[in-house]
């Protein structure tokens, strides 16, 4: 766990509602309002997708929605930037393979 | 859906908020749009105290300044539209906006572009591995989302962002193994560097990252010493046990909207690259379109706020909301404060670079 509970300047981490999301089918606890990427980072999950051709791992890079490195498949929709997409109760997050597949893509 | 305002501001960072405040104070109807779901731009990740004099809000931390600005803007009736991206500016001038998959436009008498900057990347073997990220990305994760994306860090670059984020990583409980800097000297302020040194983090100038290793994410990084030609001296390589590499190698202004408008640009490396020319009042080569903050040259939050102030005043004046005597006096005060921020060994070159930009900006 790498959640910053106490901080010399920002103080103690505020209590917030806990939300459960599912990452590749496994339940993960997240803080309401945070982006998917930080919920994953808090669990030590670093690989968010693998590239299409060379199958290389990618993860968080810019954290402000610019670079698209952090894309995952969320609720069946591929290429979602997880660093700027807030968690929602019951959200299904999947490690994305290449460009990903749409849920109803046959 | 179409809106109409006196002044539309793109970007709710320190520059955009200040511009909106000055415009609204003079009586203008102001709309600020930001693609983020929360306002403040980079301010809320800045937990250090600001420098300068009292007028520059020295001694106050970035996030508190952010709260003050928001409060003031709201009191003055500024409308802030979040989750709203501006994807183009059309004749009118009219902003093309997108919020939650809904398109709409806003006609504005004056437009202030305060879109900020984005972090530069650096390519080396292994740079795409998870665990390598922008220093600003790490800052966002630790200070805004309260998560440490790694435990043992190598920082690349010793400018102010590199130094400040290193200190903030330590405050967040990470271990920073080292800062490497390719130049002969540390890039950022001595005060910041001193704090880092006292905390026991070595800063190695004339050193760079050569590669980083790991199967699925970073597990080590190799650094080396550079000769006068900038080549790695063989035998100087050293491998560090780190799980995170932060890149603090400069920012590039996000001036896409101005590119599409065919505004005049000038290449000024000292301020981040291709920059929109502007006059002393922050107006670009296109009448009625102003810039402020990092998009007009990468500096820091205090200068961004002053430039926003200037652009807001100039817009209000050109709309006839302030008489030129009053506006002139106000603008003069801001220009003085800007000059103070751009003095001394770390500011002078920015002052010179800005002068090149404004000189070009005046040739309309
Ligand atoms: C990641 C990062 C960390 C930094 N950390 C520090 C630091 O610790 N100390 C320091 O002094 N300086 C720091 N800086 C420098 C920083 O640029 C200034 O401090 C200051 O925030 C610049 O203010 P600004 O208003 O020009 O831009 P910003 O604060 O970047 O605000 C620009 C805003 O515009 C929005 N935007 C951009 N394009 C659009 C569009 N098309 N449509 C709608 N909205 C848009 C963005 O979402 C953003 O909110 C940092 C910069 C970055 C990028
Ligand atoms: S990390 Fe760059 S877009 Fe998410």
Q: Is B223 exposed, middle or buried (0-12, 13-18, 19+ CB in 10 A)?
A: buried
* Residue A106 clears pLDDT 80, i.e. is over it: no
Beta strands in B60-219 (DSSP E): 79-81, 84-90, 94-99, 102-113, 117-119, 132-134, 152-156, 175-181, 203-205, 207-213
Establish if B251 touches chain A: CB-CB under 8 angstroms: no
Q: Which of A94, A72, A99 is nearest to A84 (CA)?
A: A72
Q: Which of A17-31, A53-67, B54-68, B205-219 has the lowest mean pLDDT?
A: B54-68
* Residue B188 clears pLDDT 60, i.e. is over it: yes
- Nearest C-alpha of chain B: how many angstroms from A49? 10
Give the model's pLDDT for residue B364. Answer: 46
Alpha-carbon distance of B154 to A46, in angstroms, equals 17
* Residue B54 clears pLDDT 70, i.e. is over it: no
Q: How confident is the model at residue B10 (pLDDT cuts 50, 70, 90)?
A: very high
For residues B187 and B213, the answer to whether their CB atoms sit within 8 Å is no
Nearest CA in chain A to B245: A61
Give the model's pLDDT for residue A105. Answer: 57
Atom of ligand 1 nearest to the CA of B36: 47
Give the model's pLDDT for residue B59. Answer: 65
- Nearest C-alpha of chain B: how many angstroms from A106? 26
Residues contacting A60, CB < 8 A, separation 6+: A37, A41, A46, A48, A69, A70, A83, B130, B133, B137, B141, B149
Q: How many Å lie between the centroid of ligand 2 and the Cα of residue B99?
A: 19
Q: Which whole-number Å values give the CA distances from B246 to A9, B86, B249, B292, B298, in the listed order?
A: 22, 30, 9, 28, 19
Give the model's pLDDT for residue B50. Answer: 65
Interface of B with A in 32-91 (CB under 8 A): 35-37, 47, 61
For residue B130, give the nearest of A34, A57, A64 by CB distance.
A57
pLDDT tens for B24-44 read 999 999 999 999 888 888 887
Q: How confident is the model at residue B52 (pLDDT cuts 50, 70, 90)?
A: low
- Alpha helix segments (H runs only) across chain B: 14-25, 62-75, 135-139, 160-171, 190-198, 256-260, 301-318, 324-341, 348-362
pLDDT tens for A63-82 read 988 899 999 999 999 999 99
* Residue A35 clears pLDDT 90, i.e. is over it: yes
Residue of minimum CA distance from atom 20 in ligand 1? B301
SS3 B313: helix
Q: How confident is the model at residue B49 (pLDDT cuts 50, 70, 90)?
A: low
């Amino acid at each position: 766990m790498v959640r910053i509970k106490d901080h010399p300047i920002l103080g103690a981490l505020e209590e917030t509602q806990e939300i459960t999301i599912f990452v590749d089918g496994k339940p993960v606890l997240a803080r309401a309002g945070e982006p998917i990427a930080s919920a994953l980072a808090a669990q030590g999950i670093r690989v968010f997708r693998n590239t299409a051709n060379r199958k290389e791992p990618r993860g968080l890079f810019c954290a402000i929605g610019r670079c698209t490195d952090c894309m995952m498949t969320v609720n069946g929709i591929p290429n979602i930037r997880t660093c700027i997409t807030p968690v929602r109760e019951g959200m299904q997050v999947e490690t994305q393979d290449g460009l990903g597949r749409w849920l109803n893509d046959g | 859906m179409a809106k109409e305002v006196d002044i539309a501001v793109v970007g709710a960072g320190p520059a955009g908020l200040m511009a909106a405040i000055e415009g609204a104070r003079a009586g203008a109807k102001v709309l600020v749009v930001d693609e983020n779901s929360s306002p403040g731009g980079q301010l809320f990740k800045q937990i250090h105290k600001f420098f300068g004099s009292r007028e520059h809000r020295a001694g106050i931390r970035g996030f508190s300044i952010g709260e003050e600005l928001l409060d003031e803007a709201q009191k003055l009736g500024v409308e802030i539209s979040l989750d709203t991206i501006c994807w183009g500016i059309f004749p009118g001038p009219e902003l093309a906006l997108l919020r939650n998959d809904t398109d709409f436009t806003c006609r504005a008498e004056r437009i202030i572009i305060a879109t900020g900057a984005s972090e530069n990347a650096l390519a080396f073997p292994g740079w795409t591995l998870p665990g390598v990220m922008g220093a600003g990305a790490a800052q966002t994760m630790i200070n805004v989302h309260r998560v440490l994306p790694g435990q043992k860090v190598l920082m690349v670059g010793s400018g102010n962002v590199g130094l400040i984020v290193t200190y903030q990583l330590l405050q967040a409980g990470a271990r920073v193994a080292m800062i490497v800097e390719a130049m002969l000297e540390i890039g950022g302020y001595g005060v910041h560097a001193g704090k880092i040194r006292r905390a026991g983090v070595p800063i190695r100038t004339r050193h760079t990252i050569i590669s980083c290793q790991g199967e699925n994410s970073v597990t080590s990084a190799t650094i080396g010493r550079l000769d006068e030609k900038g080549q790695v001296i063989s035998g100087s390589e050293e491998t560090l046990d780190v799980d995170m590499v932060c890149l603090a190698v400069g920012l590039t202004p996000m001036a896409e909207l101005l590119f599409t408008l065919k505004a005049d640009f000038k290449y000024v490396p000292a301020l981040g690259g291709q920059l929109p020319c502007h006059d002393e009042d922050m107006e670009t080569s296109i009448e009625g379109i102003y810039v402020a903050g990092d998009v007009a040259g990468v500096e820091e939050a205090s200068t961004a706020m002053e430039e926003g102030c200037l652009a807001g005043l100039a817009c209000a004046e050109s709309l006839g909301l302030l008489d030129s005597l009053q506006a002139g006096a106000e603008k003069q005060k801001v220009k003085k404060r800007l000059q103070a921020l751009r003095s001394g060994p770390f500011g002078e070159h920015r002052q010179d670079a800005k002068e090149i930009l404004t000189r070009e900006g005046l040739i309309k």
